[in-house]
Every structure is written in C-alpha cells, then in structure tokens.
Structure 1
Amino acid sequence: MEDSLIQVKFLNHKHSVHINRGETVLDAAKKAGVYINSPCGGMGLCGKCRVLIKSGQTRITAEERKFLSPEELEKGFRLACKAVPEGDLAVQAEEKKTESKILSTGVLNGELKFQPALGVKDVKIPKLELGCEKSYSGLLEEKLPGASYDLSILRELADITASGEDSFRAVMVGSQILTLKRGQASQSLFAVCFDIGTTTIAGELVNLSTGESVDSVSAGNEQGGYGADVLSRINYSSQSSENLKDISDVIVSQIDELISRLCVRSGIEPETVYSLFVAGNTTMLQLFAGINCSNLGKIPFINVLGRGTLLKAKEVGLKNLFPEGDVYLMPVIGGFLGGDTTACIAAANLNSEKQKLQLLVDIGTNGEIVLNNYGEITAASTAAGPALEGAKISCGMRADTGAVDECSLDGGDINCGCIGSGEPEGICGSGLIDAIACMLEAGVINMMGHFTDKPESFPDGIQSRIQKKNGEMEFVLSDSGSKHVSITQRDIREFQLAAGAIRAGINILLKRRGLKFSQLDEVLLAGGFGAFLNVENACRAGLLPCESTGCVSRISSIGNAALAGVKRVLLDSSAKEKLEIDCREIKHVELSVDTDFQMEFSEAMLFPQIS
C-alpha cells in the first residue's frame, strides 16, 4: 500500500505529506495546510497556482503550456492544480504576501447604544445550615430570577459553595448563565466580531465592559485555495462530506488562530472571550458552521440559515473562545443575500431611516445591492464574479504587495501606483478600474471596449503602451521590472461582465420603484473594495450608473460596513432584535429569474457616456 503513496515536500513551509498516485500538488497542499492561490478552484483556467519543482518529475500538461512560457517550464515552474507527481517531489510554493490592503474599519450611521446582552452580575448567597430546606440552586434562582442554566453551572456552584465561598459573579447572556466566577474575579468581559469575506477576513476584539475596541486583525481567506468565488467552494464542498469538513475546518481553524492572535497581542486569556459574532455571505456562514451548501449551487438557490443563528463555540470547534460561549451568525435574507448584507444594513442604519432615498452597494465577487425607499427596503445580489478581486484577469492579483492599485492620466502618458515599495507584479481591482477609466478617457478603447485601430494618433507615452502579444491587443502598464503587467482585450471583457452585472442589478431595483440614480439622496459603498475606489473612475468605467458628474458628490464609502454592523449588534442587543425582525420585511429580488435583467445586463456591458 505504501508503495502507491507519493511524498510531497513543501520546502519553504517545512511541511511534508503523502498523497495517492494521480493526485495533484494542489491536493497535497490542501492536506499539508499550505496555502496556494487557486482562484479557479483547481480547474486549470486561471494559471495563478504557480509552484517551482525543485526535485522530482511531473508530466507537462496543455494548460501549463498555455500559462507558462518555455523558459518557465524549463526552470521547473508548474501549475499546482495540474502537476501530478510521478514520484516523490520537492516543491517551493509562493510565500503569502505580507502587505495587503484589507480594510478593517467601517462607519456607523446613527447613534450607537451600548447595551450588550452579555454582562456580569454579582451574587452573594448565605451558607446553608443543617435542617435548612433550601438548596444552593434554589438560592441562585432567588438571586437571579428567571435565569436559565445547565449542568456545568450546577457543577461550578457545587465547587464554589463546597470551598466555603459565598460571593461570586455570574457571567450572563440575557437570562442564560454562561459561567460562575469565584470571588473578585476580573469583571472585564471580551467578545470578538468577524466579517468573513470570500477573499478577505477582518476581525475585532471588543471589551464588553466598556464597549471599546481593543485590537483588530485581518488576513486573506485561506479557503482561496478551493476557488476565488463562492460557486467553486460550493462545488468542492458538495462533492463529499469529507470535502465539506476539509473546507469548513480551514475557515474555523483560521478564525481560531486569528482570535488567538488578538488575545496574545492584548494580553488576555481566551477563556475571557465569551462570544463571537460573525458576518459573511450565505456560503461563508454555512461553510463556517459546517452546513452543506449544495442547495445554494443550483436553482432556486435556497439557504439553510435564516434569522440570526446561535451556536456554541465547542460545537463549531473553536478552541480560543470560552467553550460554552455563544457564536452568533448574522441573519440571512435569502439566497446569496447573507449576513454580510444584513450587517451592512445595520451599519448604515437603513432599517431605521425613513426620510431618505438611499442605495447601499457592497462591491465584490458577489455584489449586494440594497435600496431604501423611505423605509421600504428592497435587496438583490448579482454574480459579479472574481474579476474585481483580481481573478480571471491575465495579470490580476489581490490587493497585495506588488499590485498596481491606482492609475491616472498625466499629459501624454499614464502613471501607476503600486502597493509596497517594490516593482509591479500585477493589478488589483481598484487599479483595474482606474486603468480602464484612463483608457476610455484617452480614447484607447471605445464604448464597446474594443481597442482603437489607430494607435499612431496618440502621444508617444500612450502609443508605446498599446501592443499586440500572441495576436491579442494589450495595454502595458509596467514592463520595467521582472513582470510584464498589462490589460488585454480579454481582461476588458471580464471587467465589462463584472461591472455590467452590478450596474444592471442597480438599475433593476431603481426601475422597480420608478426611480433614477440621480434622484438618490446618497449612495453608500460598503466593503474594503469600495473604500479604495476612485469614485469618478468607477462611474466613468461603468461600475455605477451615474448619469452625470453631479452624481459623484452623493457617493461615499462607509468602509468595512459588514464588520461595523456586526459590532453594532454585538454592542446593542436591541439593534440585534430589531434587525432580525426587519430582515423578514425586506423584499428580495431574485435577478436570475427577472425578465428584464438580461436586457439591462446587455446594455450595461457598454461603457457609459457621462455628461
């Protein structure tokens, strides 16, 4: 049996695993817990999962010949998803980027009331004497009327009273007793809240005694190795119960590690972190809870989660949280309108605003759109795809070190900004939008997205960037370093698909209410991506349906609204209760079956003319 196994060593991670013959390097990486970026989910469609074979052999595939040059293949570069070891293999995988643009702060609209459900109550009970007909549990119930508790509390009560102590503190969530703390134990209570995005994760440690933020943390979602978009992860997790457990364990372990990091940096014990509140799209929440997502991958896209869901830390598998502590998953509206959307609604206070016309847009792999029409809320989600996160773009990458993240026209040329101090390695979503807006402004591409057929008419700087490679037109952003960074005709098409889906979704919601974009009092852009956008360029590139430049002044970013919103419901139990009720009244527009969507989408594929 052992002869059929192959050993794969990941040299720069110091991990080694055995895999079956026929399995790939990407399969080995998942078993070893080594992160390899695989936006297409291992289908061989993106060419992003590059690894370097240091020893051993794999057979070169057609996909590898497509994405890797002869020189790269000669050096030993392969695609992890297609590289099948013929024998033992030593591999060097790409190191994780250390500098990323992940937004972990957001804006809260309206007043924040500090009334958390979690609190501490001091209890003093007398020592019972012989002949007394009372019990210690009875005394506890007298001191805390209406309180509920389980066997663990009775055991703690027995230990405390047996030691002769008569004073202790009860840590409670509402009427539920979580634990009993002896004597003058610290009254500080902590909780964590997280926004689990498809691409990135952001979290915050909160002192529930004061309401103050203690520390924050962020990271790329390590489920990225299973695909950049939710459908790739749904497909993987639906293949078997083992796959579901694998991908669920990845996110639970990562959240657990991030909680540990927050505790260590803040000098607190994990046992004093009593609750975790989580926002995320429907797929992310169900995978975090280990719930089968196959229904979300097929029409009619039915979710299992609904109103806010309460779990226990120990049943989720979290070790760096009080074992009996609550894990609260934000309410889900329906389909792909998940807990990230409801958290954004809470942050923007949309469900309490009756005097404005507001549009909330969370731009990402799955674009969520919420329209507040003087208190009547309509919402929709649209599959923008991962192009805006850097996937499906020839030189695309996340907003990490080396990513071109901004572009601007400067006379007869274009200037590009880059994350970090090194050379450009690729382009992220904000840079892609800027570059396309600049190309439109300069006339390099037309409203159809096609390259001009007269490049000689441009200034020398622009003209030198318009090139043809392997029979396809491209606009070169950087060619000075080791990486050739450009935007191809195919990249422009991918952007049009993503931007068109978001713009069409917005138009459908507005038309259903007989409204125009110019009538809106305010447009709120949620999410880290929205915070780093150049709004004028986003309108010029057709991401938002601006009819004139005057609309731009009403568009603003509210940052990581999902994290801000989940923090609001953590700190204000009444906001949590109101949100759960209001979410049932939100009208969900399913764009996939809307008869007008395809027409709107086709029109939105064209770049707009803005007056």
Structure 2
Amino acid sequence: MFQVTFRFESGEKVTTYAQEGENLLETARKANVAIDAPCSGNASCGKCKVRLISGMLDSQKTRHIFEEEYEQGWRLACVSKINGDVEVVVPDIASAYRSRMKVADLSSKEEIAIFEKAKSDIEQAGIVLKNSLRTVDVCMNVPTLDDTMPDNERFTRALKKELGLKSVRVPYSALRKMSHVFRESDFKVKAVIRVAGDDAFVYDIYPQTENVVIGGLAIDIGTTTVSALLINMLTGEVIGKASAGNGQIRYGADVINRIIESVKPGGSERLQKAIIEETINPMVQQMCRATGFDPRHIYRMSVASNTTMNHLLTGMNGDPIRMEPYIPTFYKTNSLYASDLGITVNPDAHIIMAPNIGSYVGGDITAGTLVSMIWNRPEFSLFIDLGTNGELVFGNEDFLMSCACSAGPAFEGGDISCGMRATDGAIEACTIDAETMEPSFHVIGKEGTKPIGLCGSGIIDVIGELYRTKIINPKGKFIRNGKRVRHDKYGMGSYVLAFAEDAGSVKDVEINEVDIDNFIRAKGAIFSAIRTMLSSVDFDISMIEDVYVAGGIGSGINMGNAVRIGMFPDIPLDKFHYIGNSSLSGSYAMLLSTAAEKKCYEIAKNMTYLELSAVPTYMDEFVASCFIPHTDAALFPSVELTGQNPE
C-alpha cells in the first residue's frame, strides 16, 4: 500500500492509501476528493490536471499537457497510475465545481426578489398559495383510573372531534413522542398535521406552549449545481437559501456518463450517496445551523430535477433512459418520503417531485415553465433553460411543446479549458477594448477575488466580444495579433484574459480555438433546436413575442452578445428576460401551493415532447448554426459581420 496525498490550493489536505498500479482519479473518488472529470476519466476533456509534488506516478503524456507543463509536474489524474508514495496538488480549476457551500444572506433583497415575484405571478394567475399543512391545538382529558384510554386513541378521538375528521393516521415518529409530550404538557398539545378531505396525517406533536414553525424544503438538483430553499410553509417566507456543487460530478459532467457509472457494480449506490449524503444533507444541515432551525421541523420537500437526476436520486435504474426507445422508470411519482432516501429532515416528510415530460426533458423544465407563466399568456413565448443540456418550451395558453438538445456542459464550464461553474473566481461578464484588445471583467466573489476561469455567461461575453472586436472570425479563428493573442507551436490561437501573476490559479486564464469551437457547437445546438421546433408547427422566429431565459450560468446573460454569436434569435433585445434559476422558483411554488403543484402536473400532461433526433432537418440546421453568427447571415440582420464570410 502506498500513501497518496491530495493537497488543495486552499491549504486543505486529504491523505489516503492505494495499491500499486491503482488509477489516481479512482483513488481520489474513493477518498471523496473532488477532482473535476467531465469526461468521467476518458482522457478527452483534460480537466483533471494535477501537479506532481513528490513521489512516483506512471503517467502517459496527452495532448492536454504541453511538454513544458509536463516538465513542471502537470499530469492528468485519469491516466496516472500510482507506483509509490505520492503527493499532488489539485488546482482550483480542477476542483472548481466543488465550490464551498454557500448559504445566502437573505438580508439582500436581490436574494429573495425572484421568489417573491414567483409568488406574485402565480397569485395573479388565480392560483391560491395554500397547502395542506397546518397546526392545531388539541386538548384532552387527563387519564384517571376511571378513564384508562390509551394515549393514541385519546389523541385521535380528540382530533377527530376538533376538526370533524373520519380518520387520523399517526406514524411511528409521532407515536413514540406521545407519552412524554402529553404528560409534559398536561395533555394540551399542538399537532402538525396534513389534512386532505376528512383524513389527517400527524407529523409531529408538541406542547401548546412551544412556538412551532412548519418548515418546507425546495430543491433544484442540477447536473452541476444543487440549490435549496428553506421556507415557512404557512407564510411562504424564505428562511434560508443555499447552493453547492452536485457531488456526482466527479463521475462525469453529463447525464450519460453518470448513467454509465451507475450500472457499474455499486455505481447506483455511489451516485445516490454523492447526491444525498455529500450534497443535500450537508446543505440542509448548514442552512438549519445558520438559521437556528431544527431540520426535524421540515415536514415537506419538493424536488425539481431532470429525468436522470430523479432516477439517480431515488437509486433507480437509469440505463433505459439512454437506450432506445428511451423509457424511464417514471415520469411522475408521489410515493416517496424522506426516510426512503435517508434525507435528514422529518422522516415522514412527503417528497413532491416535479413531473418529467420525456427522457431528456425533466421536472426542472415543468417547474420552470410553471413560473415562466408562458402557459397563462395569449402571446407566443419561448422558454429556454441553459444548463448541462439545453431545454426549450414554446407556446402559449393554448398549447405547449418542448424539446431538448445535446448542447453539452459548455454553458456550465464543461468542454472549456478554463471553464467552471458560476462560483467564486469565475469571470461572469467581460468587455474587450477594440483597439488595445485589453479586457475588463467582473469576477464572482468578494472584492479583490482573482479570476480562476470562465463561467457560462462569461464565455458568452468573451466570444461575443472577440467577434465584435474582430479578434476572431466567424469560424472562431484568431485573425489579430497582440500581447493578449498568442499561438502555440501547432498554430492554435488563444486569448489571455488574465496572466498567471494576476490570476487566482497557477496558470494563465485563457480561451483557445478549441474552446471556442466547442462553444460554437453548444450555441449551435440551441439555435438549431429553436428553428427546428418552430418549423415543426409552421412558425418562424418573427412570431416569438417574448423569450424567457433561465439557468444558473452567472448573474445574467448579456443578451446582445448571445444574439451576436448566434445563440439566440435576432429579435429586439427588450423581448429577452433573464429569470434566473426557474427550476428552484418552480420547486418553491409547488412546495408552498397545492394548487401550483397540481398546475405543474397539468402543464406536464398537456405538453407535447418533440424528439429532435427524429426530425430529418435538425442535423442540417445544426451544421448551419455552427458558425458566428450563422451560415445564413440574413437570419441575423442586426449583427455586423466580422472577418471572412462563410463559403
């Protein structure tokens, strides 16, 4: 056995042990060390770079590490075998997805404004913001030798009489508290219950003197990022908010790699543990600790996530999702409770799951569609969710249709050499001076935070600005020279946003032609999906009245740059609306309102799903879109063409 030490630039250190010849990336995974590997160890992405400090590694050279980098100790973890005691440094860019868990400061109005707007919009649509949870005071006669009725029967009889119920169900978690609580409170108690018709389910029992807040937990499980809200179920007040990287990402950046991992021996258990024990439970604990809230007082949960994430969360077989005819285990289920999954809230908390629509259009999209309100408007609107995949919904109050395109993880930093999720150190906005080619950018984090890489909104800005300033041509090739533009010995060009001495990592922050080409394909997937979906109902782009853009790719998207690079249609910019994390907002609405939950089910049931791979023209549309802005310049009349025109 050899000792393996992983050292992070933050100063954190993890030591584990491995057999001779064991793969370094697999060793890191077993030790719960977060090394980003979007390709899941196939040596195709080059993101799992580590720097050898001491010891022995049998590591082959790859195209992702230049000769001078190799001499400096840089290795790919996925192609490195352990041959002795070894110590490596994991740079921030290699572990950026596992950003420190964030608990939001809710004194900031911006943090809760989006959820207040969701409440307001839903109320204006006639949906009542009310759920079935409530507290009720129950007073019982104190037992005597003449009244020897058992506690549970005494309680259920009193509750039935108080509320006019026919049946009352008391689970084990509440039953085991009865004896103590009843006698502590002289048989005057407060019960947390769910009422449905003339039936009640009892979650908890307290003395009447205790101030009880009924808590709820809304979660958005993204492929890259997980976000959560802790709310007061009676008032809708947001008590806490947190976000963290999805612990599953070390098994691959996309859903296909995760599914492949899940079918390996023990894979399903590893992935379920990564999302529950390493991500959701720590978020709940940290939120509750920060707010002084008891997690046992969380009595309901709602989850919005894509179809694959739903299956991996519940430990179900996701392999049929990726295999034709692409059939999941479920689209909708109401049968899950916190105790089933080991989530550390009240064990009887019911888990509401936003319904899926197809194998690649999940509950995150139905939840997002709910709060986008396009289902409640007469005008034709387009809803776009930019994440690890791109999902679209088009329609109005009369019809809705959806599709998903394989944009890849580029919008969350995957497939980009300096890409990262929108967390501390990420450049999220950028402008470039047309004459000097010098950049000005905003970095996520407190003032003075140095840049580590680019998140989705930053990538859009940088490519848009490189094109506007004629530094790159429509094919994404560099056509100007200067201090910021350089070419390697193979002729590949790159643009340096921050040199190593000004960056928060050990290397320059730069974007190269391969990165740009990867992003052009990602944006091409979005635009071609829009065109294909519209043409399937004999519509064209001019008929779009509004575009609602969602996704956690940054603080917002520069819509002008998104149009300039050909990702979004060339329509007036005032028709674009960035609505943030609509999946979390929709999860919040479903949690707070039973009527909103039912409306989400209705939206999913009535939405038509378009399988793009079955549309013969889609691939032609995609190829035509892999250009800046497009091979058909007439589609982007407001965009000034730069450099050479398409042949």
Contact 1:355 1:375 in 2 (8 A): yes
Residue 544 of structure 1 aligns to which amino acid in structure 2? F
Aligned partner of 2:192 in structure 1 is 171
| Alpha-carbon distance, 1:279 to partner | 1.3
SS, match of residue 566 in structure 2: coil
Contact 2:392 2:530 in 1 (8 A): yes
Map 1:437-476 to 2 at 5 A: 437-452=464-479, 455=480, 463-476=482-495
SS, match of residue 392 in structure 1: coil
2:302, 2:476 → 1: CA distance? 43
Aligned partner of 2:322 in structure 1 is 297
Map 1:10-29 to 2 at 5 A: 10-11=6-7, 12-29=11-28
Aligned partner of 2:138 in structure 1 is 123
Matching residue within 480, 504, 522 for 2:499: 480
Contact 2:500 2:509 in 1 (8 A): no
Contact 1:100 1:401 in 2 (8 A): no
| Alpha-carbon distance, 1:285 to partner | 1.9
Aligned partner of 2:310 in structure 1 is 285
Matching residue within 250, 261, 266 for 2:286: 261
2:356, 2:466 → 1: CA distance? 39
Contact 2:20 2:82 in 1 (8 A): yes
Contact 1:503 1:542 in 2 (8 A): yes
Aligned partner of 2:169 in structure 1 is 149
Shift of the 349–373 alpha-carbon distance from structure 1 to 2, 3 Å rule, reads closer
2:416, 2:339 → 1: CA distance? 41
Map 1:542-553 to 2 at 5 A: 542-546=566-570, 548=571, 551-553=572-574
Map 1:66-465 to 2 at 5 A: 66-94=63-91, 106=114, 107-108=117-118, 110-112=121-123, 113-127=128-142, 135-136=153-154, 137-144=156-163, 145-152=165-172, 153-157=174-178, 160=181, 165-174=186-195, 175-240=200-265, 242-253=266-277, 254-319=279-344, 321-351=345-375, 353-414=376-437, 415-419=439-443, 421-452=448-479, 455=480, 463-465=482-484
Shift of the 25–385 alpha-carbon distance from structure 1 to 2, 3 Å rule, reads same
1:40, 1:303 → 2: CA distance? 23
Aligned partner of 2:107 in structure 1 is none
Aligned partner of 1:458 in structure 2 is none
Contact 2:171 2:203 in 1 (8 A): no
| Alpha-carbon distance, 1:74 to partner | 3.6
Residue 10 of structure 1 aligns to which amino acid in structure 2? F
Instruction: Please give the per-residue CA displacement for 1:42-79, whole angstroms capped at 9, x wherever unaligned.
Output: 1111222122333320112132xx32344443443322
Residue 7 of structure 1 aligns to which amino acid in structure 2? Q
1:525, 1:337 → 2: CA distance? 16
Q: Tell me the TM-score normalised to structure 1 length.
A: 0.89
1:385, 1:104 → 2: CA distance? 29
1:75, 1:469 → 2: CA distance? 18
Matching residue within 611, 614, 620 for 1:599: 620
| Alpha-carbon distance, 1:132 to partner | 6.5
1:227, 1:480 → 2: CA distance? 29
| Alpha-carbon distance, 1:205 to partner | 1.2
| Alpha-carbon distance, 1:257 to partner | 0.5
SS, match of residue 595 in structure 1: coil
Contact 1:531 1:557 in 2 (8 A): no
1:494, 1:252 → 2: CA distance? 32
SS, match of residue 244 in structure 1: helix
Shift of the 87–377 alpha-carbon distance from structure 1 to 2, 3 Å rule, reads same
Contact 1:479 1:485 in 2 (8 A): yes
Structure 1 unmatched runs, 5+? 456-461
Residue 440 of structure 1 aligns to which amino acid in structure 2? Y
| Alpha-carbon distance, 1:464 to partner | 4.6
Instruction: Please give the per-residue CA displacement for 1:412-436, whole angstroms capped at 9, x wherever unaligned.
Output: 1332314153554433322221222
Contact 1:104 1:202 in 2 (8 A): no
| Alpha-carbon distance, 1:294 to partner | 0.9
Aligned partner of 1:459 in structure 2 is none
Contact 1:362 1:526 in 2 (8 A): yes
| Alpha-carbon distance, 1:558 to partner | 0.8
SS, match of residue 192 in structure 1: strand
1:586, 1:139 → 2: CA distance? 46
1:247, 1:291 → 2: CA distance? 11
Contact 1:311 1:327 in 2 (8 A): yes
| Alpha-carbon distance, 1:131 to partner | 6.5
2:134, 2:343 → 1: CA distance? 22
Structure 2 unmatched runs, 5+? 105-109, 502-506, 638-647
Aligned partner of 2:54 in structure 1 is 55
Aligned partner of 2:548 in structure 1 is 524
Identical aligned pairs, as a percentage? 30
Residue 468 of structure 1 aligns to which amino acid in structure 2? H
Aligned partner of 1:33 in structure 2 is 32
| Alpha-carbon distance, 1:104 to partner | 6.7
2:52, 2:492 → 1: CA distance? 32
Shift of the 341–538 alpha-carbon distance from structure 1 to 2, 3 Å rule, reads same
| Alpha-carbon distance, 1:38 to partner | 1.5
1:556, 1:396 → 2: CA distance? 25
Q: Tell me the TM-score normalised to structure 2 length.
A: 0.85
Of the structure 1 ranges 95-104 and 433-442, higher mean CA displacement relative to structure 2 is found in 95-104
The alignment status of 1:557 with 2:574, answered yes or no, reads no
Contact 1:424 1:481 in 2 (8 A): no
Residue 67 of structure 1 aligns to which amino acid in structure 2? H
Of the structure 1 ranges 110-119 and 280-289, higher mean CA displacement relative to structure 2 is found in 110-119
Residue 114 of structure 1 aligns to which amino acid in structure 2? L
Of the structure 1 ranges 368-377 and 466-475, higher mean CA displacement relative to structure 2 is found in 466-475
Instruction: Please give the per-residue CA displacement for 1:520-568, whole angstroms capped at 9, x wherever unaligned.
Output: 221100112275210000011111122x5xx211001111111111111
Length, aligned pairs only = 591
Shift of the 232–78 alpha-carbon distance from structure 1 to 2, 3 Å rule, reads same
Contact 1:310 1:329 in 2 (8 A): no
